[in-house]
Chains A and B, each alone.
Chain A
Amino acid sequence: MPTMSPRRWRDARLAVLLLAPAVLGMVAMRVVPAVSAFAESFNHLSLRTGVKEFVGFENYAYLLGSGEFHAVLGTTLLFNLVLNPVIVVLSTALALLLAQRLPAVGLWRSLIFVPAAVPGSVTALIWSTAMQPDGLLNALFAAIGLPKQPFLTSSGQALGSIGLMLAWGAIGYWMLFVVAGLKDIPQAVYEAALIDGAGWWRRLTAITLPLLRRPMAFVLVAGTVGSFLAFAPVQILTKGGPDGSTNLLMYDVYANAYQVGDLGVAQAEVVLLMILMAVVVAIQFRVLREERS
């Protein structure tokens, strides 16, 4: 390395000072807990005696051999497999509709975005009120002659009801990213297609969707990360029930740590959650890249 000029030295010293709060914060608040979860996942802490002992892979072996954990994993994967594609399709459809020049388009866009401003826990409270036996949804159903639905109180509908809440809170937010992607497509491409006589459907499938792959991939990956971490509706409304039908991974970690009090198992579960998320995100990137080439 060439010797640094006095000015570069000054800059380097200043950079250390300016970066210290952010970097230290990120180490203490993000890196240390991730490393600690990994380390603690090999320990067992007895709540009765308060003694901590090293147990190797016992916590992982317990989880991977437990039918209950298999059910949690299955529920979480099913939930994500259905919810995330729905979110991508709906937010893209809304973006296509609202990226056009329409009367009052700003108003429609704002109304669709508004649910993204609502805190997730509040979304859960609002929808649970609307899903009561005599709530808004059943009233609307009755008005069009449909029978009452149990929603959150039935093991067949509870998970779908939670998915509906999350989708409601998410699609307006993700729509913004797709709208931004649409605006990046050069107008000249469409003009050329029009001259060639391409119809609406042809322009959509041959130009718009292929050129939207990047923003759509981003929505799929970031949306998946969000859905994997779904927690508030489960903790506030269903506590994982009825019959474990809404016992998603994040809630199970919380329950193991704070209700069962088995911290070692909870930390092992956090590690598995992070690995699972990384794998899912990596697969999605891989698939999307292959499609491109």
Chain B
Amino acid sequence: MKVSRVASVFAAALAAGLIFLPLWWVFASSLRPGNSFVENLTPLSWRAFLPVGGSFANYEVLLDGDFARALLNSFLVAGVTVVLGLAVAVLAAYALAVLNFPGRGYVFVFVILVSMVPFDAIAIPLSGLFSTWRLSDSYAGLILPALANGFAIFVLRQFFLGVPQELLDAAEVDGLGRFGTLLRIVLPLSKPALIGAGLMLFLSQWQAYLWPLLIGTSPGKQLAPIALANLSNLYSVDLGQILAGSFVLSAVPMVLLLFFQRQYTESLSTSGMRG
């Protein structure tokens, strides 16, 4: 190997190590019961990074409490968002990609313009409207705003546009009809885009903080990030538990993204570069 290549590998490994270190430290520390992870920090010992002799005590305490309920809520809200959000986006994207109707261009521009308004900017006025509409503190209130996801529509539309016209025409000749073509021809071909858009919808809910803070107000409706942030403000709670909760909330999207890295990256570059 050339010297420059060795230097590049070294730099890449160093950057990756530095960026990943805090997360690894969170995992290692979460396996030290209570606040005992601090003991390995002054002075700094290798035990801070290698959880030899650790235990899952923090996880047990955490999952015995209200956090378990909040975690379940997070899975429920994100799961329903993926299913309903995909349904809404698939139908809209199919109409925009395949059907030929007057005003199609205008609808598409509307979708693009609206999705450029960042949700958090209008979350506070929307939360006021939701209390007027009696949607505060309900699952519907948590889920509804995430269903109007313009990026998901865009990603699916771009993918549907790539389905060969001959295939659509052949389906027509076979008498499949518009819905039959969508279900039997277009959707089975679109798995990468469905996975990418589904992940976008999942992450938009799993990572949300402001909206669930405004809407899921009673303890029974709290989502996990809110519950964890509230726990961290109680002085009676060990930091070890906070780290355990942080690791759980990070591990779920991490695993999903590792599995579906390719589809997710492709969707991102469709929505970002050409959007």
Q: Which A residues are within 8 Å of any B CB, using their own CB?
A: 1, 4, 8, 11-12, 14-15, 18-19, 21-23, 25-26, 28-34, 36-37, 40, 94, 97-98, 100, 102-105, 107-115, 117-122, 124-130, 132, 134-136, 138-140, 142-143, 168, 171-172, 176-177, 180-181, 200, 214-215, 218, 222, 225-226, 229, 231-232, 235-236, 250, 253-254, 257, 263, 266-267, 270, 273-274, 277
Which of A112, A142, A171, A270 is in CB contact (< 8 Å) with B121?
A270
Report the Cα distance A26→B144, complex, angstroms: 10
Contact B43 A143 (CB under 8 A): yes
Knowing A15-B101, A98-B12, A108-B12, the reply to whether A23 touches B242 (Cβ < 8 A) is no
Contacts of A34 in B (CB 8 A): 117, 122, 125
Which A residue sits closest to B98, measured CB to CB? A11
**How many contacts A-B (CB < 8 Å)?**
257
Knowing A229-B118, A229-B120, A232-B210, the reply to whether A108 touches B15 (Cβ < 8 A) is yes
A-B contact pairs, 19 of them (CB 8 A): A11-B101, A15-B95, A21-B87, A31-B114, A33-B123, A34-B125, A97-B15, A112-B15, A121-B226, A122-B250, A124-B229, A132-B239, A177-B272, A177-B273, A180-B269, A236-B229, A254-B124, A270-B122, A273-B121
Pick the interface stretch among B57-65, B146-154, B188-196. Answer: B146-154
Chain B facing A: main interface SS: helix
Contacts of A118 in B (CB 8 A): 23, 246, 249-250, 253-254
Report the Cα distance A270→B120, complex, angstroms: 10
Interface residues of B in 67-118 (CB under 8 A from A): 87-89, 91-92, 94-96, 99-102, 104, 107, 110-111, 114-115, 117-118
Q: Which B residues are within 8 Å of any A CB, using their own CB?
A: 4-5, 8-9, 11-13, 15-17, 19-20, 22-23, 25-26, 29, 38, 41-44, 48, 87-89, 91-92, 94-96, 99-102, 104, 107, 110-111, 114-115, 117-126, 128-129, 144-145, 147-148, 150, 153, 178, 203, 206-210, 213, 225-226, 228-229, 232-233, 239, 242-243, 245-246, 249-250, 253-254, 257-258, 261, 265, 268-269, 272-273
Report the Cα distance A33→B132, complex, angstroms: 12
Contact A126 B243 (CB under 8 A): yes
For A14, A30, A32, A235, the residue with the greatest tally of chain B CB atoms inside 10 Å of its CB is A30
Report the Cα distance A11→B179, complex, angstroms: 11
Contact B125 A114 (CB under 8 A): no
Report the Cα distance A148→B41, complex, angstroms: 13
Report the Cα distance A253→B147, complex, angstroms: 25
Contact A97 B11 (CB under 8 A): yes
Knowing A15-B95, A15-B99, A19-B92, the reply to whether A129 touches B243 (Cβ < 8 A) is yes
Contact B122 A129 (CB under 8 A): no
Contact A26 B114 (CB under 8 A): yes
Contacts of A138 in B (CB 8 A): 41
Contact B229 A214 (CB under 8 A): no
Report the Cα distance A118→B229, complex, angstroms: 14
Contacts of B148 in A (CB 8 A): 22, 25-26, 28-30
Report the Cα distance A69→B33, complex, angstroms: 44
Instruction: Give the 3 A-B CB pairs with smallest separation, nearest first.
Output: A25-B148, A22-B92, A33-B126
Which of A37, A136, A200 is in CB contact (< 8 Å) with B48?
A136
Contact A176 B110 (CB under 8 A): no
Contact B16 A108 (CB under 8 A): yes
Contacts of A21 in B (CB 8 A): 87-88, 91-92, 147
Q: Could you list 5 further interchain pairs (A-B, Cβ under 8 angstroms) beyond the known A23-B110, A31-B114, A117-B253?
A: A107-B16, A119-B225, A120-B209, A134-B38, A250-B120
